[in-house]
Structure 1
Amino acid sequence: MVAREIRRNSRRPPEDPHGVLLWRWRRNPLRRRTDVVQGWIALGLLLAVTAATPAAMFLVGDAAYRHHRQTARDEAAVRHHMPAVLVHDAPRHPEPGSPEAKITRYPVAVRFTDPHGHSRTATTDVEPALRAGSEVRVWVSDEGKITEPPLSTEQIRNRTMGAAMVAALTVPVMGAVVYGWAARRLERRNLALWDIAWARTAPRWTTST
């Protein structure tokens, strides 16, 4: 009965999760000043990251939106949607009418007139099975080269969201890097203090009596 009572009383009490998380602020004989400093650094960085993340998303997203919107305007000013005629037949898709055939495009030579009135020949992607002489629309630059269309509203939105997401991920990473750097500095200080304390205590342990 006595042994059973001792085993029951010696069971380890359940750990308080809040106490484990906040141990740097709780008074105890083993707590060092650097532990308190590290705890406040962690709290400060957590608050800073929480506040800075939405701000960074807004600022970066707004800047990206303005940039891409202006890029779209500049591209629309120098790119022209013009008719072009196929020089020869486009290849046939091996599975006509299939979902894959509807999205497949083949490079085919086309002839068109550039914005300055000069006849040009270039290659562009067209639907399968188009016959020579068929008319398609192409985007042509002021230099008379076939190019991509100006940025669409969807492309502007996607690129803006991408930039905002990168900003949202960058802020916590920077906070983690700063915390890691500070923790290493504090750990080095702790080791240095241990060396000093041991240098004072070691002679008492090693001196023979």
Structure 2
Amino acid sequence: MAARPGLGRERNPLRRRSDRIQGYCALGAVFLVLAVLPVAVIIGLQTWHHYSAISDQELASSHLVTATVVAADPETRLARNYLAEVSWTYPDRVEHSGHLAITQTTQVGDRVPVWVNDSGSMTSAPTTRLSVWLDTLGLGLGLTFAAVLVGLAGYRASRFVLNRRRTHDLEVEWRRFNESRSQGYLN
């Protein structure tokens, strides 16, 4: 008899109940992943809008100025950099100074770029659009990957339990079969 489409409700003696349950578990894992995709997109879009607003705010209040290396301290050597004292003049005509990690090739008197806030104080570089995009992409892919892992783990766990149950049922059937055969030969 040819296979018929359907949900397995036909009475096929070779299709066990556990086979149908395993099929439903696989289908559930696929539906879980498909259900998470729109959620991942929505969360990704919300993350994009949130961090884009933060990036815009940081870009509006941060300015790139050129500072001059005043003193370099090789004693503060980090991996490939070391700390140096730098100074710059912000448009308010006030001299500012701070410490910045510079490369080993940078000498006293060299000019280096420094990010400053509206008051002229040194600040970290603003978040770029690329960084926002990569963070958003990473979050969406991470959520999807987590859903795939949960679905796969659930399916594998159900398959493990069902396989143990099938093995147990098969052993019981073989015992019954062997007992009935041995009783038939002895009589």
- Whether these two folds match at TM > 0.5 is yes
- What per-residue deviation string (whole Å, max 9, x for no partner) do you get for residues 67-123 of structure 1? 42354356558756454221158xxxxxxxxxxxxxxx98643134799x7854412
Please tell me whether residue 43 in structure 1 is matched to residue 19 in structure 2. Answer: no
| Unmatched runs of 5 consecutive residues or more in structure 1 | 1-17, 90-104
What's the CA shift for 1:58? 0.6
Counterpart CA distance in 2 for 1:168 and 1:154 is 21
What's the CA shift for 1:145? 7.6
| Unmatched runs of 5 consecutive residues or more in structure 2 | 73-80
Counterpart CA distance in 1 for 2:101 and 2:152 is 48
Q: Which amino acid aligns with 2:18?
A: T
SS of 2:166's equivalent? helix
Pick the aligned partner of 1:122 from 99, 102, 118: 99
State whether residues 32 and 147 of structure 2, in contact with CA within 8 Å, keep that contact through their aligned partners in structure 1: no
**TM superposition score normalised by structure 2:** 0.64
* Counterpart position of 2:68: 85
State whether residues 87 and 97 of structure 2, in contact with CA within 8 Å, keep that contact through their aligned partners in structure 1: yes
Counterpart CA distance in 1 for 2:165 and 2:106 is 75
* Counterpart position of 1:169: 145
Counterpart CA distance in 2 for 1:44 and 1:135 is 61
* Counterpart position of 2:168: 192
What's the CA shift for 1:166? 1.9
What's the CA shift for 1:138? 1.0
SS of 1:124's equivalent? strand
Please tell me whether residue 148 in structure 1 is matched to residue 124 in structure 2. Answer: yes
SS of 1:87's equivalent? strand
Counterpart CA distance in 2 for 1:27 and 1:145 is 79
Pick the aligned partner of 2:134 from 158, 163, 167: 158
State whether residues 115 and 123 of structure 2, in contact with CA within 8 Å, keep that contact through their aligned partners in structure 1: yes
Change (3 A) 1:201 1:126: closer
Report how many residues are paired: 171
Runs of 4+ in 1 over 6 A off after TM superposition: none
**TM superposition score normalised by structure 1:** 0.58
State whether residues 83 and 99 of structure 2, in contact with CA within 8 Å, keep that contact through their aligned partners in structure 1: no
Structure 1 or 2: larger strand share?
2
Counterpart CA distance in 2 for 1:119 and 1:149 is 17
What's the CA shift for 1:205? 3.5
What's the CA shift for 1:125? 3.0
What's the CA shift for 1:27? 6.4
Please tell me whether residue 62 in structure 1 is matched to residue 45 in structure 2. Answer: yes
State whether residues 82 and 137 of structure 1, in contact with CA within 8 Å, keep that contact through their aligned partners in structure 2: yes
SS of 1:139's equivalent? strand
- What per-residue deviation string (whole Å, max 9, x for no partner) do you get for residues 177-209 of structure 1? 111112122222223333443454443234444
Change (3 A) 1:191 1:145: farther
Q: Which amino acid aligns with 2:102?
A: D
Q: Which amino acid aligns with 2:15?
A: R
Counterpart CA distance in 2 for 1:107 and 1:80 is 21
